[in-house]
Amino acid sequence: MPRVLSGRLDQPPRLTVKQLAAQAQRLNQAVPYLAAAYRQALNRWQGDPVLRLTGRPIITECYRSSERQNELFALGRSKPGLIVTYKRGGDSKHNQGPPTPAIDVAFQLADGSVSWSGLLLSKFARLMKAADARVVWGGDWVTFKDRPHFEVLTAGKGGDKRG
């Protein structure tokens, strides 16, 4: 609480020029209709007087190399930590492209910290799905809920539930 109270709760969280450049770079890696859905959801969020004060949606990752995927896969298995993925290098939608059919989302808070709040992510997921019905939210998965994760089916892979 002290960290939140030190922030300006009457001001929406803002990104620095450098952070905005990183956001644009990640968004450019995404397949166009996923990027368009994100832009529309972000605009709706930022246009909502309540939501915009809770946090600023950010893309934490889009394209990810197979090497980095394997490093993440090692977490909670051959390396200490919590399991963050069930995909080996090459199996994740983050490893495709660019254009990449997956993004991970979090929220920049007014105090500068980053939140992966399930409540905020579920609210953002509603806007993402409303923007484009082809968007799949990882929070809707039954076996492994991946709430920061959004993806779209890629051409010729319909029905292939590899994620």
Closest CB 39 distance from Zn ion, rounded Å: 18
3-state secondary structure of 8: coil
Q: φ, ψ for residue 109 (rounded to 5)? A: -95, 165
Residues 92-151 that bind Zn ion (CB under 5 A): 104, 149
Q: Which is nearer to Zn ion, 123 or 149 (CB)?
A: 149
Rg over CA atoms, the chain: 16
**Looking at beta carbons, which residue is closest to Zn ion?**
149
Closest CB 17 distance from Zn ion, rounded Å: 26
Q: Which is nearer to Zn ion, 91 or 111 (CB)?
A: 91
Closest CB 60 distance from Zn ion, rounded Å: 9
Cβ atoms 93, 154 nearer than 8 A = yes
Binding residues for Zn ion, rule CB under 5 A, total 2
Per-residue H/E/C for 116-138? CCHHHHHHHHHHHHHHCCCEEEH
Query: Interface residues with Zn ion (CB under 5 A)?
Result: 104, 149
